[in-house]
């Protein structure tokens, strides 16, 4: 009985260590990159216009190999499968539009002491605008991802895009 109790206690101790390790990794990322912030040049944005934003750069942005920005229009739909007691509903995300901009290591080095990195996208005229009331939910987001030695940088930002 004591061996079973020891195995159960060891299992929960291992789970605790995994959570502590992940927390320390997240804290190290915060110290390395700082808190990200996206400045909007205009507010809100409209379909067919230019979307201009500035990313408050991470502390060590110049040490990144590249920084990629991805603009996406995402629509969430509820899909129900099965019947009776076996009915299951899940949210499925569909990408309706995407565009990408990549900033190279030399371009990041050119930003130098400035902490704001300008990014520009051309919004198409046909995808649906942001709709956060009712179903299906439709929203626009920018994903920023930087490749670096050690911990990589990643952040998501919602963008207000309307008709």
Question: How high is the pLDDT of residue 66?
Answer: 84
β-sheet bridge partners, residue 94? 75
Question: How high is the pLDDT of residue 60?
Answer: 60
Is the pTM here over 0.75, yes or no?
no
Question: How high is the pLDDT of residue 67?
Answer: 87
Residues of the chain with pLDDT under 50: none
Q: Which of 134, 130, 126 is nearest to 160 (CA)?
A: 130
Question: How high is the pLDDT of residue 85?
Answer: 86
What is the rounded radius of gyration, in angstroms, for the C-alpha atoms of the chain?
A: 21
Question: How high is the pLDDT of residue 57?
Answer: 67
Question: How high is the pLDDT of residue 101?
Answer: 94
CATH of 36-162, one of 1.50.10.20, 2.60.40.640, 3.40.50.1820, 3.40.50.720: 2.60.40.640
Question: How high is the pLDDT of residue 16?
Answer: 93
Q: Which of 30, 38, 63 is nearest to 141 (CA)?
A: 38
């Amino acid at each position: 009985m004591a061996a079973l109790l020891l195995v159960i206690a060891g299992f929960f101790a291992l789970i605790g260590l995994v959570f502590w390790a992940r927390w320390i990794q997240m804290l190290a990322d915060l110290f390395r990159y700082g808190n990200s912030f996206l400045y909007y040049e205009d507010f809100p944005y409209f379909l067919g216009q230019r979307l201009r934003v500035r990313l408050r750069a991470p502390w060590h942005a110049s040490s990144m190999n590249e920084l990629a920005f991805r603009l996406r229009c995402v629509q969430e739909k509820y899909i129900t499968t099965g019947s009776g007691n076996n009915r299951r509903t899940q949210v499925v995300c569909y990408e309706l539009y995407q565009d990408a901009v990549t900033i190279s290591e030399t371009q990041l080095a050119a930003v130098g002491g400035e902490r704001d990195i300008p990014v520009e996208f051309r919004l198409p005229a046909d995808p649906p605008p942001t709709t956060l009331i009712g179903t299906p939910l439709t929203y626009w987001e920018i994903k920023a991802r930087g490749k670096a030695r050690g911990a990589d940088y990643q952040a998501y930002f919602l963008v207000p895009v309307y008709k």
